[in-house]
Chain A
Amino acid sequence: MSKIMTVDVLSSIKGAKPSEAVNQLFDVIKNAHPTNNNAAVNVHNNAVSLDDLREDVVIESSAIEKQIIIENFPNEKDGYLVVAKVIED
């Protein structure tokens, strides 16, 4: 079953609506005529080659890094992050 999601839901921003200024930018693109519509032929190939991937290993964070991550918790109890109960709908 398809479900249409509005931009406020997609963006997780209450009451968000498309803006007129931004729509004017998009209209320029809609009316443009690129010579090649195939975006798969992308000249910006910044992907790393398979021979050059970084090692697939776990890198342990330093003690100070872990401590700061905990300091940044918005809500904390006994050193654990407190999150809202997930409600499926």
Chain B
Amino acid sequence: MESQIKKIHQQLVSKQITCTALVQEKLELLKQNTYNSVNSLLDTLALDLAAKVDAKIANDEEIGLLEGIPFGIKDVYMVQGTYTTASSDLLKKYKSAYTATAIQKLLDAGAIPLVKENCDSFGHGSSSENTIFGAVKNAINPELVSGGSSGGSAVNVAKEYTVFSIGGDTGGSVRQPAGYNNIYGLKPSYGRISRYGLMAYASSTDCVGPLAKSIEDIRIVLNVMSGKDGRDQTSYVSEEISEASVLESKEIKTVGYFKNFIESEAIAPQVKADFLASIEKIKAKGIEVKELDFFKSDTLVSTYYTLAMAETASNLSRLDGTNYGNRIEGENLKDTYSITRSENFSEETKRRIVGGNQVLSQGFSDAIYLKGLALRDQISANFDKDFKEVDVILSPVTPASPPKIGDSLNDPLAMYLSDAYTVGFSLGQLPTLTVPQGTVTGMQVTAAKNNDATVLKFANFLKDTL
């Protein structure tokens, strides 16, 4: 698909449409939608901003490319004065006091925020069913899950309720719902976009990630949000990725894929067959394809969840109802803490906090947590070795099609294992893009850390190849 941002920009500039009419239309679609993709609408703010864009156009003033473009925000980002619930009971009435850096950059560029989007509570889930706002339904088949945790964002983009949305990806939370709803979703290199104002899940893999219907829109939004931010000291300076550079993929000569991902018993026969057929088409274009060895899926998933649970137990310890949140008074301070947390966290969130405290506690940290860190180092070293041999690694996004709504909540272990193909790239802090091609839930394109441009280039090549 062509760039929706550029198409709408042209329509606004040539006065074919007004920004107010565009925003009203999208707000109406969001209000009436039955996919449970919306936590709250930002209608007053959006219409005020749209009127300002219309006034500029009426005065023949120049507008920027993102000016007047409506977008959605996963409900884990701070936007000053708006509710930021993390789809949880604890924060259902919490108002952001400030705005996340990534979102502020989009606002400064003139983009118009329409909606805070439904997701798994605190990012804890792979189906967007772990939410107080109702399970998010898949855009293609509403009986299936939307994927998660950024499910509402993926559905809003797929249904064109938003032009693009900003999700968050810790272990696959942008890439997997993008795959389930057949759109593009990028997890940039860790640190490329500031995490300031993104509610922390697992700080060492949390990434801000755009979802959109075209590679060009992903590129535009990525460029605007990237950059060093003093408020997130893991962020770094990065070069802008030009449109021309994405169109040129000749430098990509060698592609790899993990043999054990494809030979796994867990992969659905159709996903395997479609993936291998895609590999053949790539070979036919003269690109060398190498089979690579990698860690077993259960090692990847277990390493990821060990570290993510440890980090989320620490990050969420601040949520005790003292300064904000739905406090439930007990007999004393400690009692207030524990009643507030017991009553307001979902079962999945509690499971992860407890798991995190288990692995961090004395006697367990050496056997599990520190070993998890050592495994992560090995996984990263493995990637370093692979990227000396190949330019890009391809992988399915998920082993199978989306499950039916209700199935994942009954089987948490199966849900964790369904993340087998996404979590490794998170541990490596690598740039990975889901493209809506290749298998029923798409394919992931991954490059070495900081080579986000390579990922977009190869996605562009795949668009014309598959």
Contact = CB atoms under 8 A, between A and B. Distances in A.
A68 B359 CA distance: 36
Contact of A72 (B97, B345, B351): B97
Contact of A16 (B204, B298, B350, B384): B350
A37 B368 CA distance: 11
Contact of B371 (A11, A34, A65, A84): A34
A18 B354 contact: yes
Contacts of A28: 298-299, 301-302
A53 B230 CA distance: 8
A25 B412 CA distance: 11
Q: Considering residues A16, A29, A37, A81, which has the most beta carbons from chain B within 10 angstroms of its beta carbon?
A: A29
Interface residues of B, number: 74
Interface in A11-29: 11-19, 21-22, 24-26, 28-29
B338 A12 contact: yes
A4 to B, nearest CB: 9
A87 interface: yes
B450 interface: no
B244 interface: no
A58 interface: no
B233 to A, nearest CB: 4
Contact of B322 (A42, A68, A83): A83
B370 A44 contact: no
Interface in A42-86: 42-44, 46-48, 52-54, 61, 64-65, 68-69, 71-75, 81, 83-86
Nearest to A71: B95
Interface residues of A, number: 54
B195 to A, nearest CB: 11
Chain A interface, >50% SS class: loop
Contacts of B230: 54
B313 A22 contact: no
Given A21-B416, A25-B302, A48-B233, A65 B309 contact: no
Contacts of B97: 61, 64-65, 68-69, 72
Contacts of A26: 302, 306, 355, 358-359, 368
13 contacts: A5-B361, A12-B320, A21-B416, A22-B309, A22-B351, A26-B302, A29-B367, A34-B377, A43-B377, A43-B384, A75-B327, A84-B336, A86-B332
| Those 8 A-B pairs whose CB atoms lie nearest each other, nearest first | A74-B327, A39-B373, A28-B302, A72-B324, A34-B374, A21-B413, A48-B233, A22-B355
Given A11-B313, A18-B355, A86-B333, 18 more contacts: A11-B341, A11-B354, A11-B357, A22-B412, A28-B302, A29-B375, A37-B370, A46-B191, A52-B233, A54-B231, A54-B233, A61-B97, A64-B80, A65-B98, A69-B323, A74-B324, A74-B325, A84-B329
Interface of B: 80-81, 94-98, 190-191, 204, 230-231, 233-234, 298-299, 301-303, 305-306, 309, 313, 317, 320-327, 329-330, 332-339, 341-342, 345, 350-355, 357-359, 361, 367-368, 370-378, 380-381, 384, 411-413, 416, 429
Interface of A: 5, 7-8, 10-19, 21-22, 24-26, 28-30, 32, 34-39, 41-44, 46-48, 52-54, 61, 64-65, 68-69, 71-75, 81, 83-87
